Amino acid sequence: MFRTFVAESHDVREALYRLRYEIFTAAQQKYRNIADHERRKLVDSIDEHAVHLCLESDGELIGSMRQLQGLEHVPSTLRTNLSLEKFVQFPSSAFTFSGRLLILPAHRGSQALLTLVRFAFESGRSRRAEFDFIFCNPNLVRFYELMGWRRYRPYFEDPGLGFQVPMVLVADDVVHLEAIRSPFAELARNFAGDGRHARWFRETFPEYQHFVSPVTIGAEAFSEILAHKINDVSIDLFDRFEPDELKTLLQMVSHFEIAEQTRIIRQGAWGEELYLILNGVAEARRRTADGQLRILSTMGRGDVFGEMSVFTGRPRSADVVAQSGLEVVFLDRSSLEKLMKGQPTIAGKLLFNLCRLMSERVRARELGLE
């Protein structure tokens, strides 16, 4: 059985700071610039002012998430990255900022994560929060969209985390939560609200109301749109796929349009997703030990990047920068594992094509063609 609670004592907070270090810093190589490596803790100035939501199983701390309410302790850079100036008409108390979400690996795939985020939703609403902001790596966008968070502005690059996607949960938008079958829908109906924040959001961000995502427009429509874009024999990753197989696969990917000169992947960063270019040009670059920048390859439509970290679990070996406006789809490790269990034929074709592409890339480097 799971138990949710708010960390009140010093000892519990210290335990979750140490748990964060093991998950984020030791395992994922994140936040190394701010972590306390000597005491193996991950804590920052926001933690003193935040509410720490905890999940326990059989007396063991297995998950946590923090929520900061109000704007007083939100750094100026984060205010800019989240475009909070667009929400200026609302009182500070209407905002919460969630982050540092973690679940121990042994409990991933169980109801642990859902239990914790439902507790977070109730916690914020009980304090009259109307908007909850998060930012995340691309591989987590699908999860947050399924819960009810929405994209509302372009991505940004965080110095410590790299490519990040800002999202907001409009807590009184029961219509949206019900439409996507969010696990928050029933909870949202239990809290008083007239839906005015939902109406304001729809009027203020109309371009994001039908964003191209399998959650916002439906998996069928999403896969049809992407299939139309991909209807080209030059996409070697989908070689020998039947139309129905391609449709099934495309329902598991996420879609991004990326501006010129955006660094999508950063050398040394941790990542779990591989990218396929639908349109545009990107460049792979590596910084050598003596500080020189080496161009590894130029990639275009049909090319794949980021796959090595997906398979090895090691940090990214190079930067990848958009040389033009770029349209990509990506598949993360979790989705790939689900595909292997539930659709082994599709997974087999995909992995075979990936192996072939990787082999061709190695061969080209041996021959000096890259």
**What is the model's pLDDT at position 217?**
66
Q: Which two tokens stand for residue 228?
A: 């139309």
pLDDT given at position 154: 85
Q: What confidence category does residue 369 fall into, taking pLDDT thresholds of 50, 70 and 90?
A: low
Per-residue pLDDT tens over the stretch 152-196: 998 888 877 888 999 999 999 999 999 888 999 999 998 877 889
Q: Does residue 323 surpass a pLDDT of 90?
A: yes
Mean pLDDT of the chain: 89
For residues 140-159, average pLDDT: 89
Among 100, 94, 48, 53, CA closest to 71: 94
For residue 209, pLDDT over 90 is answered with no
DSSP 108-157: TTTTHHHHHHHHHHHHHHHTT--EEEEEE-GGGHHHHHHHT-EE-S--EE
Give domain 219-366's CATH number out of 2.60.120.10, 2.60.40.10, 3.40.640.10, 3.40.50.2300: 2.60.120.10
Give percent of the chain above pLDDT 90.
Answer: 55
Quote the DSSP letter at residue 211: -
pLDDT of 63-90, one tens digit each? 999 999 999 999 999 999 999 999 999 9
- Asked if pLDDT for residue 368 goes beyond 60, the answer is no
- Per-residue pLDDT at 128: 93
pLDDT tens digits for range 48-59: 999 999 999 999
pLDDT band at 334 (very low <50, low <70, confident <90, very high): confident
Give pLDDT, residue 40. 97
pLDDT at 308 exceeding the cut of 70: yes
For residue 124, pLDDT beyond 90: yes
Query: What pLDDT score does 32 carry?
Result: 87
Q: Is the pLDDT of residue 309 over 60?
A: yes
Of 34-38, 293-297, 343-347, the poorest mean pLDDT is in 293-297
Average pLDDT over residues 108-116: 92
Structural domain boundaries of the chain? 2-208, 219-366
Predicted local confidence at residue 18, as pLDDT: 96
Which residues share a beta bridge with 70? none
Highest mean pLDDT among 14-18, 221-225, 249-253: 14-18
In CATH, the architecture of 2-208 is: 3-Layer(aba) Sandwich (3.40)
Q: What is the mean pLDDT of residues 14-38?
A: 92
Nearest-angstrom CA–CA distance, 35 and 27: 13
Does residue 129 carry a pLDDT above 80?
Answer: yes
CA distance 93 to 269: 34
Which pLDDT band, with edges at 50, 70 and 90, does 33 fall under? confident
- Per-residue pLDDT, 207: 78
pLDDT at position 160, please? 76
Tell me the pLDDT band of 212, cut-offs 50, 70 and 90.
Answer: low
SS3 state of residue 198: helix
Edge-to-edge order in the sheet of strand 282-287 = 263-265, 319-322, 282-287, 293-299
Q: What is the pLDDT of residue 312?
A: 83
Question: So what's the pLDDT on residue 227?
Answer: 79
Q: How far is CA 136 from CA 64, 108, 162, 168, 278, in A?
A: 16, 18, 10, 11, 23
What is the C-alpha to C-alpha distance for residues 271 and 177, in angstroms, rounded to an integer?
Answer: 29
